[in-house]
């Protein structure tokens, strides 16, 4: 399994999983393969590739095959601009699935995709700032905005009986968006924020920030950051310094790299929020069964559902448009994300292809739920509560 993931990552960095021929259609896959969320990536690559594989096994895309062309943002603004520039200007992709981080998604869209008229559909970018971007109807996502996750997390914290917390959030689009939303909602609901600290990325030590956070007598520390960057370092140094024993995190911290870094026992009283799928969703079971049949395990990893769904929707949009014409992608994506028409679930490519050929309307209902885009390209969704269970995370509740 490990060797296959390494080979897959190498293929992704080289640019494409297969060679493209005249009738094949390239699809851009923009991921933060290296950088602060690198530990999330292997199962998400598998999710995207599963969608491509299923399409090609069930009649292909348009008159040929679908070909995934990967771009690595390196988890940075400049890296995202460079990677999306290659996808748009050299590979000439008609639509892009990605990026994953909010910052890299925004950088890619504003610098390249929007000016070039290319649709991006992100499976994981949650920053509220995305909603207000003047994108000419080119930027979509299949996860709810952090405006929602922050409010849900505030309710989760209070439901745990925690009436006084300290909060630190990373100074980027992701951290500021959800951090401020959480703080505002928590205070409005009656909670007290003892101390709040906005911190910078990529520092070796956060001991001065932690000393300030520990002075307010908080019952727990809320950390809004990536485990592969500042988030993991803050939790580790807080434990080492005996400053906090209970942590609350968002999806960026729901990373198995955190468990490896500090140990499951140190997180036994902690919990985390993350976009998730509706409970008892048959489409999710379908995807997970097919995913695990193909890759042995990993279907339960964070954002596998959304990454698969976003990739499948990008492919459906091309088929619905009837060509790789970039100018038709937004309307086609809205058509298959309208909630109107015959339902298409994960893996049902042959059915979708025939319905489109017959002139019928279709709507995609995925592993992550039904996606109906509003005017800003946003969707409603579900937020899960997760706890550490051994070397993994276990979902204990879902809120819509």
Q: In this predicted structure, what is the pLDDT of residue 22?
A: 64
pLDDT tens string 269-283: 999 999 998 878 999
Q: Are 97 and 172 part of one and the same domain?
A: no
Q: Please provide residue 168's backbone torsions phi and psi, each rounded to the nearest 5 degrees.
A: -130, 135
Q: Are 337 and 191 part of one and the same domain?
A: no
395 domain residue, yes or no:
no
81 domain residue, yes or no:
yes
Can you tell me the distance from the alpha carbon of 73 to that of 137, in angstroms, rounded to the nearest whole number? 23
Statement: residue 18 has pLDDT above 70:
no
Average pLDDT for residues 262-274, to the nearest whole number? 97
22 domain residue, yes or no:
yes
391 domain residue, yes or no:
no
400 domain residue, yes or no:
no
Q: Are 44 and 113 part of one and the same domain?
A: yes
Can you tell me the distance from the alpha carbon of 136 to that of 330, in angstroms, rounded to the nearest whole number? 9
Answer with the one of 269, 290, 307 that is the final residue of a domain: 269
Q: In this predicted structure, what is the pLDDT of residue 182?
A: 97
Average pLDDT across the chain, whole number: 93
Average pLDDT for residues 161-190, to the nearest whole number? 96
Q: Are 256 and 319 part of one and the same domain?
A: no
Q: Are 9 and 124 part of one and the same domain?
A: yes
Find the Cα–Cα–Cα–Cα dihedral 336, 341, 347, 349, rounded to 10°: -80
256 domain residue, yes or no:
yes
Average pLDDT for residues 146-165, to the nearest whole number? 95
Q: Are 110 and 177 part of one and the same domain?
A: no
> Using 50, 70 and 90 to split pLDDT, how confident is the model at 16?
very low
CA 211-213-214 angle, 5° bins: 65
Q: In this predicted structure, what is the pLDDT of residue 358?
A: 98
Write down the pTM of the prediction. Answer: 0.88
Spatial neighbors of 8 by CB under 8 A, at least 6 apart, are: 42, 45, 46, 49
Q: Are 376 and 355 part of one and the same domain?
A: yes
Counting the structural domains of the chain, the total is: 2
Q: Which structural domain, as residue segments, surrounds residue 71?
A: 2-143+280-382
Q: Are 243 and 323 part of one and the same domain?
A: no
Average pLDDT for residues 150-159, to the nearest whole number? 96
Q: Are 185 and 256 part of one and the same domain?
A: yes
> Using 50, 70 and 90 to split pLDDT, how confident is the model at 191?
very high
Q: In this predicted structure, what is the pLDDT of residue 147?
A: 87
Q: Are 151 and 96 part of one and the same domain?
A: no
Statement: residue 1 has pLDDT above 60:
no
Q: In this predicted structure, what is the pLDDT of residue 17?
A: 47
pLDDT tens string 94-143: 999 999 999 999 999 999 999 999 999 999 999 999 999 999 999 999 99
Q: What is the CATH number of the domain that holds 373?
A: 3.40.50.2300
Q: What percent of the chain has pLDDT over 70?
A: 95
Q: Are 126 and 151 part of one and the same domain?
A: no
275 domain residue, yes or no:
no
396 domain residue, yes or no:
no
Per the omega criterion (within 30 degrees of 0), is the bond before 99 cis? yes
pLDDT tens string 294-352: 999 899 999 999 999 999 999 999 999 999 999 999 999 999 999 999 999 999 999 99
Can you tell me the distance from the alpha carbon of 113 to that of 120, in angstroms, rounded to the nearest whole number? 7
Statement: residue 63 has pLDDT above 70:
yes
Q: Are 121 and 166 part of one and the same domain?
A: no
Is residue 20 exposed (0-12), middle (13-18) or buried (19+ Cβ within 10 Å)? middle
> Using 50, 70 and 90 to split pLDDT, how confident is the model at 181?
very high
């Amino acid at each position: 399994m490990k060797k296959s993931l390494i080979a897959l990552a190498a293929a992704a960095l080289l640019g494409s999983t297969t060679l493209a021929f005249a009738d094949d259609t390239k699809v851009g896959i923009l991921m933060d393969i290296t950088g602060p969320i690198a530990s999330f990536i292997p199962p998400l690559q598998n999710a995207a590739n599963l969608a491509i594989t299923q399409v090609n096994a069930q009649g292909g895309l348009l008159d040929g095959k679908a070909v995934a062309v990967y771009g690595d943002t390196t988890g940075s603004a400049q890296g995202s601009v460079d990677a999306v520039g290659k996808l748009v200007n050299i590979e000439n992709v008609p639509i892009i699935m990605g990026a994953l981080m909010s910052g890299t998604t925004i950088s890619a869209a504003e610098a390249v995709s929007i000016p070039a008229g290319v649709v991006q559909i992100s499976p994981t970018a949650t920053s509220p700032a995305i909603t207000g971007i003047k994108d000419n109807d080119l930027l979509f996502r299949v996860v709810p905005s952090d405006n929602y996750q922050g409010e849900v997390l505030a309710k989760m914290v209070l439901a745990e009986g925690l009436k006084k917390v300290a909060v630190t959030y990373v100074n980027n689009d992701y951290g500021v968006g959800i951090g401020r939303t959480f703080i505002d909602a928590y205070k409005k609901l009656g909670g007290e924020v003892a101390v709040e600290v906005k911190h910078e990325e990529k520092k070796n030590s956060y001991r001065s920030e932690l000393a300030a956070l520990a002075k307010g007598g908080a019952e727990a520390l809320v950390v809004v950051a990536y485990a592969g960057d500042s988030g993991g370092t803050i939790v580790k140094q807080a434990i080492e310094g005996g400053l906090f024993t209970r942590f609350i995190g968002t999806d960026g911290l729901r990373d198995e790299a955190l468990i490896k870094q500090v140990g499951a026992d140190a997180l036994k009283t902690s919990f985390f929020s993350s976009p998730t799928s509706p409970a008892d969703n048959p489409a999710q079971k379908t995807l997970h069964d097919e995913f695990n049949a193909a890759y042995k395990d990993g279907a339960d990893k964070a954002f596998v559902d959304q990454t698969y769904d976003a990739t499948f929707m990008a492919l459906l949009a091309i088929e619905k448009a009837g060509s790789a014409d970039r100018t038709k992608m937004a309307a086609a994506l809205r058509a298959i994300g309208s909630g109107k028409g015959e339902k298409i679930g994960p893996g049902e490519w042959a059915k979708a292809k025939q319905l489109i050929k017959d002139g019928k309307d279709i709507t995609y209902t995925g592993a992550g739920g039904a996606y109906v885009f509003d005017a800003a390209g946003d969707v409603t969704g579900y937020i899960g509560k997760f706890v550490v269970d051994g070397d993994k995370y276990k979902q204990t509740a879902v809120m819509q």
